[in-house]
């Protein structure tokens, strides 16, 4: 047999072997959620902010009141649901205002309730001026957690009126649909982020709230993407179990900026001004006044039914490569465009209730940071 026959025979054998036993490519590595670790440590802390949320046992006050020839429409008392319910409540407030009765209107307060109310009002053709001691970036709204939470301290079961649940659901569904219009906008004012609810091997003991806070989120659960339980091999958290969902989050800085720009572009005005009492407010030249002062309504309008609920946020630098959130042992974490926020929420809704002090609590910060920082022990600061 010559050399050519040997080579051809060998080629045939090799070809036959390839057909019978194909080489399998290596399987790609299984993705390990959540991805980039969050860098959480006291050494990375950039600031601490504290917000007093305006809780009203009977739920938000959206009501029309006459003072002589002045029309006043109240829109305040949203607890921890101001951003979430803002658009639906603004629609009801503007409907009560009957803008045709007054060609000019004053909105008192530049938080999210004031901004959305002013926007809905200016869309009717009214001349609208926002008067506020604190401009939007300085308000309590700017210190909010920034997550879709329409039922957060919205009222007490024993204090709300009959049918409140239906009204709340209408606010929530209307607001949710309006938030959708901002998804994909410049600066990502609203977006969906992966969220992980974690249960540790030794969870902290639960405690029931002393007050009968109303929880209504189940009524609108159909609007949100469904979550799922994760098998242990699908994530890297050192916990007993993990649940993954997609949550709506608000990038407060960019969302606030967008609302302000939209309002001004439609001819609205914004004036920095302080008021000592409601008499000074009623002295404004505008015939229609929208009271959107949040917790400030307690002093300005004698709203003694308002109760403060303290909430503290600890801020780390932004991590655009790690955009997700988590909840672990009563600590909430969310990576937003303006920073990674770490917040101790307490064992129930009683936490922070009745506390008006907005002084940062560094011990609370240390406990919260240590709790969630332990989830990322290999993270460099």
Give the number of C-alpha atoms closer than 13 A to the C-alpha of residue 192, restricted to the C-beta side. Answer: 12
Tokens of 200: 């540790």
Q: Which residue has the tokens 């302000």?
A: 260
Q: Is the pLDDT of residue 199 over 70?
A: yes
Quick check: 172 and 88 in contact, CB under 8 A? yes
Q: Is the pLDDT of residue 293 over 50?
A: yes
Q: What is the 3-state secondary structure (H, E, C) of 15-84?
A: HHHHHHCCCCCCCCCCCCECCCCCCCCHHHCCEEEEEEEEECCCCCEEEEEEECCEEEEEEECCCCCHHH
Instruction: Say how far apart CA 161 and CA 179 lie, in whole Å.
Output: 27
Nearest to 34 by CA among 376, 316, 378, 361: 376
Confidence (pLDDT) at 5: 43
> What average pLDDT score do residues 96-101 get?
75
Q: pLDDT class for 207, splitting at 50, 70, 90?
A: confident
Q: What is the 3-state secondary structure (H, E, C) of 168-179?
A: HHHHHHHHHHHH
Distance of CA 47 to the CA centre of its chain: 19
Confidence (pLDDT) at 59: 98
**pLDDT tens sequence across 4-49:** 343 334 344 334 444 455 566 665 555 567 879 999 999 999 999 9
Quick check: 266 and 224 in contact, CB under 8 A? no
Confidence (pLDDT) at 256: 97
Q: pLDDT class for 216, splitting at 50, 70, 90?
A: very high
Among 99-108, 298-307, 322-331, which stretch is predicted with the lowest mean pLDDT? 99-108
Confidence (pLDDT) at 319: 95
Q: Is the pLDDT of residue 254 over 80?
A: yes
Confidence (pLDDT) at 28: 55
Mean pLDDT taken over the chain:
91
**pLDDT tens sequence across 177-193:** 999 999 999 999 999 99
| Pairing mode of beta strands 70-76, 61-67 | antiparallel
Helix/strand/coil for 327: strand
Instruction: Say how far apart CA 38 and CA 335 lie, in whole Å.
Output: 8
> What average pLDDT score do residues 116-127 get?
95
> What average pLDDT score do residues 116-144 get?
96
Instruction: Say how far apart CA 63 and CA 75 lie, in whole Å.
Output: 7
End-to-end CA distance of the chain: 71
Confidence (pLDDT) at 266: 97
Confidence (pLDDT) at 18: 43
Angle at the Cα of 324 from the Cα atoms of 323 and 328, rounded to 5 degrees: 145
Confidence (pLDDT) at 32: 66
Q: Which residue has the tokens 């000019």?
A: 104
Q: pLDDT class for 206, splitting at 50, 70, 90?
A: confident
Helix/strand/coil for 294: helix
**pLDDT tens sequence across 53-94:** 999 999 999 999 999 999 999 999 999 999 999 999 999 999
**pLDDT tens sequence across 336-380:** 999 999 999 999 999 999 999 999 999 999 999 999 999 997 544
Instruction: Say how far apart CA 144 and CA 83 lie, in whole Å.
Output: 8
Tokens of 252: 């407060």
Instruction: Say how far apart CA 90 and CA 78 lie, in whole Å.
Output: 12
Q: Is 32 or 149 the better-scoring residue by pLDDT? A: 149
> What average pLDDT score do residues 267-282 get?
97
């Amino acid at each position: 047999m010559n050399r050519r026959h040997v080579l051809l025979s060998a080629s045939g054998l090799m070809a036959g072997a390839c057909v019978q036993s194909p080489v399998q490519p290596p399987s790609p590595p299984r993705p390990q959620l959540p991805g980039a670790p969050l860098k959480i440590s006291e050494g990375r802390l950039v600031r601490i902010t504290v917000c007093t949320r305006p809780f009203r046992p009977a739920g938000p006050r959206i009501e029309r009141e006459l003072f002589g020839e002045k029309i006043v429409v109240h829109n305040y008392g949203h607890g921890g649901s101001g951003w979430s319910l803002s658009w639906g409540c603004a629609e009801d407030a503007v409907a009560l205002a009957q803008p045709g009765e007054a060609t000019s209107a004053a909105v008192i307060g530049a938080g999210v309730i004031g901004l959305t109310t002013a926007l809905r009002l200016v869309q009717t053709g009214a001349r609208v001026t926002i008067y506020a001691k604190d401009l939007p970036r300085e308000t309590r709204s700017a210190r909010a957690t920034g997550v879709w939470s329409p039922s957060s301290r919205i009222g007490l079961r024993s204090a709300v009126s009959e049918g409140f649940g239906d009204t709340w659901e209408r606010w929530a569904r209307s607001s949710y649909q309006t938030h959708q219009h901002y998804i994909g906008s410049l600066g990502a004012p609203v977006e969906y982020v992966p969220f992980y609810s974690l249960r540790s091997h030794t969870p902290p003991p639960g405690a029931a709230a002393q007050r009968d806070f109303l929880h209504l989120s189940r009524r609108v659960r159909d609007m949100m993407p469904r979550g799922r339980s994760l098998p242990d091999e699908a994530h890297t958290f050192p916990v007993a179990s993990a649940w993954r969902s997609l949550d709506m989050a608000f990038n407060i800085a960019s969302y606030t900026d967008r609302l302000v720009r939209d309002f001004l572009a439609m001819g609205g005005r914004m004036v920095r001004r302080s008021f000592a009492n409601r008499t000074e407010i009623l002295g404004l030249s505008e015939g229609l006044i929208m009271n959107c002062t949040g917790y400030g309504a307690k002093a300005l309008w004698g709203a003694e039914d308002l109760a403060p609920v303290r909430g503290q946020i600890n801020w780390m630098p932004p991590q655009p490569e790690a955009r997700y959130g988590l909840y672990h042992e009563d600590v909430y974490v969310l990576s937003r465009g303006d920073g990674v926020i770490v917040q101790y929420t307490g064992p129930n809704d009683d936490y922070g209730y009745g506390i008006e002090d907005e002084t940062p609590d560094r011990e609370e910060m240390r406990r919260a940071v240590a709790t969630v920082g332990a989830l990322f022990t290999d993270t460099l600061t």
